[in-house]
Amino acid sequence: MKITQVRNATIIVEYNNIKILIDPWLMPKDYMPGFESAINSKICQPRVELPFDIEKIVNVDAVIITHIHPDHWDEFAEKALNKNIKIFVQSVIDKDYIISKGFTNVEILSEAGTEYNDIILYKTGTQHGRREIIKPLCDSVGMPYDAMGIVFKSQNEKILYVAGDTIWCEEVSGSIEKYNPEVIVVNACAATLLNGERIIMNIEDVKNVLAAAPDSTVIASHLDTVSHLSVTRKDLKEFKTKNNIDNLLIPNDGEILDISADN
């Protein structure tokens, strides 16, 4: 298994000799204004450029879109990806949206497992911020609330859990308990709304993941890119050093993590 941290939540997972691109947000630096409903709305995003050319990023076998929010899927991904590439999504709403952009091979992931090239992909639940507070806000502006996580299983690889846009919640703890993943990717910049609510993990949430999966390798993603972040790579590295945590990896944009099956 290799995991390439591209930028933000955009990663490339090489798993069972298949390359899967997750959440392609490919626009140039400062292309999009900050979100009016979130902190730091005057800061444009993405805050940094892509570490690779777009052509290199989209040279993959398949794509997973965890949810259709504008920092996980954009017009640059729409233009760069082959319209016949395999795309996995979480729902009928997201499937119809991607098909409306001209893509022809779109499938909804199943909680019971979806087979793809000797890999089984499992859709897992999330809370993209506390459901009772954030979902009504999303509904009021016509933005879907739900996101998904994904578990990867194969006979030849460690079990991988990409938690997606979520806070620490029963859905995440339940997924860790159910699948016992050996590698976990968490989105951890603590993106925060004006009302003070976080919509993805902060350091305390990462601590909870580490406590729930002490033998797993935990990888922190979705860092240093969106306008509404409140935790940085520097913050996480200081936390890691202070607490002597060996199983927390904090890759830089462009970094490739090689996680072999026998380590």
Three-state DSSP class for residue 109 = coil
Helix intervals (H) in 81-140: 92-100, 131-140
CATH of the domain at 6: 3.60.15.10
Please give the residue range of the domain that contains residue 220.
2-252
pLDDT for the residue numbered 187: 98
Number of domains in the chain: 1
The DSSP code sequence of 7-61 is ETTEEEEEETTEEEEES---PPTT-BPPPTTBTTTTS-B-SS--SS-HHHHT-SS
Asked if residue 173 is part of any domain, the answer here is: yes
DSSP conformation class of 251: P
Asked if residue 61 is part of any domain, the answer here is: yes
CA 211 – CA 115 distance, rounded (Å): 30
Asked if residue 136 is part of any domain, the answer here is: yes
CA 54 – CA 81 distance, rounded (Å): 9
pLDDT for the residue numbered 260: 75
pLDDT digit string (tens) for the chain, length 263 residues: 999 999 999 999 999 999 999 999 999 999 999 999 899 999 999 999 999 999 999 999 999 999 999 999 999 999 999 999 999 999 999 999 999 999 999 999 999 999 999 999 999 999 999 999 999 988 888 888 899 999 999 999 999 999 999 999 999 999 999 999 999 999 999 999 999 999 999 999 999 999 999 999 999 999 999 999 999 999 999 999 999 999 999 999 999 999 975 45
Asked if residue 132 is part of any domain, the answer here is: yes
Neighbouring-strand partners of residue 153: 120
- Do residues 88 and 114 touch, judged by C-beta distance below 8 A? yes
Reported in sequence order, the residue ranges of 79-228 that DSSP labels E, i.e. its strands, are 86-89, 106-108, 114-116, 119-124, 149-153, 160-162, 183-187, 217-221
Asked if residue 260 is part of any domain, the answer here is: no
DSSP conformation class of 91: S
For 56, phi then psi, to 5°, come to: -70, -40
Asked if residue 220 is part of any domain, the answer here is: yes
Asked if residue 261 is part of any domain, the answer here is: no
